[in-house]
Amino acid sequence: MPATILIASPEQLTVLKQREDMADATSFSDAEALKALEAITRQRPDVVILERQFASTSPGAALVNRIKAGPGLVACEIRIVSY
């Protein structure tokens, strides 16, 4: 089970995955938000990291709300990072 899931645009994923604290994260592009939500619900990661631009979109906000409302995801930390 991954401890971290990262969601950002494909271009931003490339750069963010180079950061030491995100190198081992399971990553999804912003277009894969539903797939990411399935993984989050199934795997219950410790941390979900969203790139700021994605988090400010309607799909990003909806994803955050689903995580916060999800049973069993109360302990899941949501982090917003800048590209």
- Burial per residue of 45-78, b for 16 or more beta-carbon CB atoms within 10 angstroms, e otherwise: bebbbbbeebbeeeebeebeeebeeeeebeebee
Each residue of 27-72: pLDDT tens digit? Answer: 999 999 999 999 999 999 999 999 999 999 999 999 999 999 988 8
| pLDDT in the model for residue 71 | 84
**pLDDT value at 11 more than 50:** yes
| pLDDT in the model for residue 70 | 84
**pLDDT value at 20 more than 50:** yes
| pLDDT in the model for residue 1 | 47
